[in-house]
Amino acid sequence: MPAIGRREVALKRVHLSAQPREVGAAIALEGRQGLADRLRRAIPPLEADDQCLVVRDQPFEGVGAWVGAADRRDERGGGGDRGGAQGEHPCVLRSWAQGVNPRWCDRGQRGQSDRATWGMTVRATDTTEAAMATSTPTVSVIGGTGYGGAELIRLLHRHPGVELARVTSIDRVGEPLEAVHLSLEPTGLCFEEIPPIEAADGMDVVFLALPHKVSATYASDLRAVTAKVIDLSGDYRLRDAAAYERFYKTAHPHPEELDGRWVYGLPELNRPAIREARRVASPGCFATTVVLGLLPLARAGLASGRIQAVAATGSSGSGAYAKAGTHHPLRANNLKPYKVLGHQHTPEIEQTLREAGRRGGHELSLKLELVPVSAPLPRGILATSFVTVDAAVDQALVARVFDEAYADEPFVRVLPAGGRAAEVVAVKGSMFVELSWQLGEPFEGRRQLAVSTAADNLVKGGAGQAVQSMNLILGLGERAGIDAPAMWP
């Protein structure tokens, strides 16, 4: 159990058809009479049931609350005159503790339903051991407007074991999450522009969904953060500062962070270490897809020498902001290689395979030659990797290596030998990885082993794998919140 101290305790969201003052009575039913009394005193009455109030989470000295009117048609037709623009979303952040008056806004929006349900989520400081033992862990996302951030929000918002409490960004500030990521239902959260150390305050886990080379600049700030931190960028994955500078085209601003203090977040390799980690560097999309195809071979000492891989990826891997490479007319009917033999995930894959070899008692001498391909699909990666093995390696040995490695893994599916090959459509939108393989005929004492792996670059290759690490860190079920089947077709 975490140490007793300042911590936000999540209470369930209650929906009332009356004034939100009455939320105190609902909370009292949960055995929190003291908090209920504070809320009755703290929450002012509303003038009309089509208004809302949003304030910043605060400790007991300034109880914070979210109050929102959901889907209320304004029969007067348009916004009122109480300080809010027509159609303004009820997501304006203010702080009572800082002496700022709450801001009222009119919810009037034409064409919505007549439901007038009030919702409230309350978080407040509680230092009792009983509260600490029963509280839901809270998490925040730093950098929430990109595709990786969107996937984190999608998975965390409906996660059964945690509460998504805060999302930050430098753009779309003040807008509701669902106004940017259109697939979301109303979350009651807005994008905030606050420093990372403030975004981490009171959280159990913090996700960094920032671009490469940006996350690294916050290393000194993160040292003061007591929450567990999971970074989705490439800034803490490598152990070699020279390799980082070569492949990321800049010197690492804090090379001391590359000393192993960040656990590489691939559960299939580092599950015990992730459970105990304070800092996790979540793997890249190409790295995840290629490594999962080769990891069992490396452990068995079969992946050595020159290894080639061709990996086709969807456009979401290039990020949410438009550029020539993601422009639809140029991408939709096109295939093209890019960063040939120079992609930044190359040293990450080599480092991981060497470590897997050491775990199996082998010091591997290997070099990866990676050719990424821009493919005309929004999401997904299909990688085919080629390893040269001794002619004595047969079908039975290869099948045994893969089956034993992944028999108990929750998200890796080894397809039957001789059956269909791995394909993106079978894993799209899910955490699952498909793996197929083919062993070639002997030639001059050697033979070629081709391994194909398919993954969703945003889920197992991105946000989903980060949530998998969070589940391990918090002692939750490893599949919790991330085991939905793929979308079909």
Could you tell me the CATH number of the domain that includes residue 347?
3.30.360.10
Q: Which of 37-46, 299-308, 410-419 comes out lowest in average pLDDT?
A: 37-46
Q: Which of 30-39, 92-101, 161-170 comes out lowest in average pLDDT?
A: 92-101
Across 314-469, the runs of DSSP E, i.e. the strands, are: 336-337, 366-374, 381-390, 412-414, 433-439, 446-455
Q: Assess whether 334 and 200 both reside in one domain.
A: no
pLDDT at 163: 97
Task: Tell me whether strands 433-439 and 446-455 are parallel, antiparallel or unpaired.
Answer: antiparallel
215 within a domain of the structure (yes/no): yes
Q: How confident is the model at residue 404 (pLDDT cuts 50, 70, 90)?
A: very high
Q: DSSP code of 215?
A: G
pLDDT tens, 64-101?
333 332 222 233 233 333 333 333 333 332 222 223 23
pLDDT at 320: 80
Q: DSSP code of 192?
A: E
pLDDT at 49: 34
Q: Quote the CA–CA distance of 404 and 377 in Å, as a whole number.
A: 33
Give yes or no for residue 125 having a pLDDT over 90: no
Q: Assess whether 333 and 432 both reside in one domain.
A: yes
Task: Give the mean model confidence (pLDDT) for residues 390-405.
Answer: 98
Q: Assess whether 148 and 270 both reside in one domain.
A: yes
Task: Give the mean model confidence (pLDDT) for residues 370-389.
Answer: 97
Share above pLDDT 70 across residues of the chain, in percent, rounded to a whole number:
73
Q: Quote the CA–CA distance of 455 and 284 in Å, as a whole number.
A: 12
pLDDT at 465: 98
Contact 191, 180 (CB under 8 A): yes
Q: Assess whether 232 and 276 both reside in one domain.
A: yes
Look at residues 127, 159, 194 and tell me which one is the last residue of a structural domain.
Answer: 127
Give yes or no for residue 1 having a pLDDT over 90: no
Give yes or no for residue 283 having a pLDDT over 60: yes
pLDDT at 42: 45
484 within a domain of the structure (yes/no): no
Q: Assess whether 9 and 52 both reside in one domain.
A: yes
Q: Which of 52, 105, 190, 285 is catalytic?
A: 285
Catalytic annotation present for 285: yes
pLDDT tens, 217-256?
999 999 999 999 999 999 999 999 999 999 999 999 999 9
Q: Assess whether 153 and 54 both reside in one domain.
A: no
482 within a domain of the structure (yes/no): no
310: buried, middle or exposed (CB in 10 Å: 19+, 13-18, 0-12)? middle
Q: Quote the CA–CA distance of 447 and 133 in Å, as a whole number.
A: 57
pLDDT at 85: 32
Q: Assess whether 290 and 408 both reside in one domain.
A: yes
Task: Tell me whether strands 8-10 and 205-208 are parallel, antiparallel or unpaired.
Answer: unpaired
Q: Which of 102-111, 329-338, 422-431 comes out lowest in average pLDDT?
A: 102-111
481 within a domain of the structure (yes/no): no
Look at residues 70, 92, 127 and tell me which one is the last residue of a structural domain.
Answer: 127
pTM > 0.85: yes or no: no
Q: How confident is the model at residue 321 (pLDDT cuts 50, 70, 90)?
A: confident
Number of CB atoms found within 10 A of residue 216's CB: 23
- Secondary structure (DSSP) of 243-279: HHHHHHSS--S-GGGGSS-SEE--HHHHHHHHHT-SE
pLDDT at 322: 76
Determine the structural domain holding residue 58 and report its residue range: 1-127
Q: Quote the CA–CA distance of 424 and 384 in Å, as a whole number.
A: 12
Give yes or no for residue 356 having a pLDDT over 90: yes
pLDDT at 392: 97
Q: How confident is the model at residue 137 (pLDDT cuts 50, 70, 90)?
A: very high
Q: Quote the CA–CA distance of 311 and 452 in Å, as a whole number.
A: 9
pLDDT tens, 226-235?
999 999 999 9
Give yes or no for residue 434 having a pLDDT over 90: yes
Q: Assess whether 324 and 266 both reside in one domain.
A: no
Q: Give me the number of domains the chain comprises.
A: 3
pLDDT tens, 45-69?
433 333 333 333 333 233 333 333 2
pLDDT at 325: 75
Average pLDDT, the chain: 79
Q: Cα separations (Å) of 348 from 90, 116, 238, 262, 294?
A: 44, 52, 6, 14, 13
Residues in contact with 24: Cβ distance below 8 Å, sequence separation at least 6, in sequence order: 36, 37, 39, 40, 43
Residue with the bigger pLDDT between 275 and 84: it is 275
Q: How confident is the model at residue 113 (pLDDT cuts 50, 70, 90)?
A: very low
Q: Quote the CA–CA distance of 83 and 102 in Å, as a whole number.
A: 11
Q: Assess whether 323 and 257 both reside in one domain.
A: no
pLDDT tens, 191-220?
999 999 999 999 999 999 999 999 999 999
223 within a domain of the structure (yes/no): yes
Q: Assess whether 396 and 450 both reside in one domain.
A: yes
Q: How confident is the model at residue 9 (pLDDT cuts 50, 70, 90)?
A: very low
Q: Assess whether 302 and 433 both reside in one domain.
A: yes
Task: Tell me whether strands 228-231 and 205-208 are parallel, antiparallel or unpaired.
Answer: parallel
Tokens matching residue 188: 């009651």
Look at residues 108, 127, 146 and tell me which one is the last residue of a structural domain.
Answer: 127
Give yes or no for residue 167 having a pLDDT over 70: yes
Q: Assess whether 299 and 273 both reside in one domain.
A: no
pLDDT at 430: 98
Residues in contact with 479: Cβ distance below 8 Å, sequence separation at least 6, in sequence order: 410, 411, 471
Q: How confident is the model at residue 36 (pLDDT cuts 50, 70, 90)?
A: very low
